Structure 1
Amino acid sequence: MREPDRTLGGFEPEAGLSPRQVHAVQKLPVPSLLRSLLSEHLDPGYAAAAKARADSPHPPPRMVRWGWQATAALLIAMVFAVAAAQARTTAPGVSEAQHVLAGSVRAAEGTTDGLADRRDTLAAEVDDIARRQLADDAEGQQLLTSLDEVNLPAASTPMIGPGVTVTVTDPGMGRDLTDVSKQRVPGSRQVILDRDLQLVVNSLWAAGAEAIAIDGIRMGPNVTIRQAGGAILVDNHPTASPYVIVALGPPNALRDGFDRSPGLIRLRLLEASYGVGATVSADEGLTVPTGATREIKFAKQMGP
């Protein structure tokens, strides 16, 4: 029996035929793709390349191959060295620019705080003069009473009295927060978001609060709580954990109403899931500052 044809994947085309059928029938041997895949596990091109490399009369010396590898490694090292040198060269300029920007921000914050204090002082002087002028007759006293009624919702006067203090604290570097699945903000350990503080403030209003301040910023008309990246802005002022929310009102009724509110339910859920700190305490003699007053603009119809 002759050697099986390798191009047919080891299959003998005359297998199973009688001698007469073998000589009578002429077949064109066509290799079977399926048989080739089952029997030939190495592509013929690899075998041909290996044979050509072995039959080559002048194979590359080992020292030459090592030389090319060393040259490639040296080029890569040079690229990294140049990149490191460039980074060291530009680092002082970047650091200096950061210091300049930080100084500018601090100076702007100081100027803003000074102007805000001056605004509050002048507003208090104007209010005092107006009260002295209006307190002389009955019509002026009636007007002062009306002004006091609208000043409370407008947050235009400082207030002092009993109430509750809600302190919300972001969790620390806890082990649970190393897992990204425990992060509400991807890539950040921040858990408390603007919508959480919004819900707490609205729950305090619904519980009967008469005045509210977050970290010393009075909540009033046109005052917003917004998320800006990893910071929370209250009336465009950045605030950070812990968030201290002061609400003036009857302490017992205010606390009872807040205990049943969606705001405290959300805080307890965050406390159980992420380790957020949330405390509620009733106090006497709490103060809230004056809120920023803004001009209210009304739309007017144009034409007839």
Structure 2
Amino acid sequence: MDRSDPTVRRNPVPSLLRSLMNEHLDPGYLAAAEDRDQAHTRTTRWSSGLWLALGAVLVGFVLAYAAVDAAERIPGTERERGELLTAVRDAENRAAAVEARRDELTPQVDAARTTVLAGDAEGAQVLAALREVESAAALEPVHGPGIVVTLTDPPPRPGLSDSSQRTVGDRAVVLDRDLQMVVNALWHDGAEAVAVDGVRVGPNVTIRQAGGAMLVDNRPVFSPYEVSAIGAQGPLQTGFVVSDAYLRMASVQQLYGIGFSVAQSDDIDLPAAPVRSLHEAYPAGER
């Protein structure tokens, strides 16, 4: 069969198939999209701008209300803060007055007790026992030679290792366990009395850290921390130098730059420890 014969009928591509290949969007959809762009673009932009303006007004109103409310609260807050500071100062002044009165009456009480008890042998024995107990409880001020161990916080340094255990904020600091080890070593080496920054260490006295503050008997102390110990200087210093506390602090000094020194002193004055409230008492041997 001759393909060039005009009588031969070819199978032409249908118009629908051609339109699907050439026109990817239905004419109806195309017309609707053009109509929407031409007829609604201006309205859509106008409504979007309106909503943005309303949102801006609402945000501005909320911010203005918050600012006015904060401004109204400031005087009240400052007044309450002032009242609290005044109350704290008054309480501190009352406590200081009570302590001063206690210090004034303590020698009078001791003198009256001595006068009453020293008159006979039995009273003298009771008085000697009381003085021994008071000395053990650190209830008497003491004076004498000894040694002073000084621990000092270093300036901040970047790149410290073990930062979670040895730093507060970004600073390497002396820790409460450092002071605890030094105090315990001094007791072990024969100290008769110990104080940290002038706070006498006796029974029930704690050394602990709260945040960045060092507390001895719940009193804040600050760097440099001076641990004073009264006792025989030679044995006290020799025993401390070979103790675990000395080795620990020497290592900490090299690693973190914390100040650490030991010195002898011929004139150390330590105050009496605070008097503790007595809740229960039993004669010895009855419990």
Give your verdict on TM over 0.5.
Answer: yes
Where does the alignment leave 5 or more consecutive residues of structure 1 unmatched? 1-50
Could you tell me the percent identity over the aligned residues? 43
Please say if 1:262 is aligned against 2:207.
no
Distance 2:94 2:32 in 1: 81
Distance 1:177 1:89 in 2: 46
For residues 78-117 of structure 1, what are the structure 2 equivalents within 5 Å?
A: 78-117=61-100
Shift of 1:142: 4.4
Asked if 2 retains the 8 angstrom alpha-carbon contact of 1:177 and 1:189, the reply is no
Distance 1:180 1:200, change over 3 A: closer
Shift of 1:179: 10
The equivalent residue for 2:180 is 198
Asked if 1 retains the 8 angstrom alpha-carbon contact of 2:194 and 2:230, the reply is yes
Distance 2:206 2:153 in 1: 20
The secondary structure found in structure 1 opposite 2:227 is strand
Distance 1:197 1:291 in 2: 18
Give the TM-score, by structure 1 length. 0.67
Shift of 1:288: 0.8
One-letter code of the match for 2:81? Q
Distance 1:298 1:135 in 2: 24
Distance 1:158 1:181, change over 3 A: closer
Shift of 1:109: 1.9
Distance 1:104 1:243, change over 3 A: farther
Aligned length: 249
Give the TM-score, by structure 2 length. 0.70
Distance 1:289 1:52 in 2: 96
TM-superposition CA deviations, 1:71-96 (whole Å, max 9, x none) = 43443344333323322332232233
- The CA RMSD over aligned residues, in Å, is 3.5
Shift of 1:209: 1.0
One-letter code of the match for 1:90? R
The equivalent residue for 2:271 is 289
Match of 2:207 among 198, 205, 225: 225
One-letter code of the match for 2:272? T
Please say if 1:250 is aligned against 2:232.
yes
For residues 1-304 of structure 1, what are the structure 2 equivalents within 5 Å?
A: 56-57=36-37, 58-59=40-41, 60-62=43-45, 64-172=47-155, 174-176=156-158, 181=163, 184=166, 187=169, 189=171, 191-294=173-276, 295=278, 297-298=280-281
One-letter code of the match for 2:70? A
Shift of 1:285: 1.3
Shift of 1:55: 6.6
Distance 2:34 2:84 in 1: 67
Distance 1:90 1:242, change over 3 A: farther
One-letter code of the match for 1:101? L
Distance 1:250 1:186, change over 3 A: closer
Distance 1:137 1:283, change over 3 A: same
TM-superposition CA deviations, 1:241-273 (whole Å, max 9, x none) = 333322111223222222233333443444444
One-letter code of the match for 1:248? I
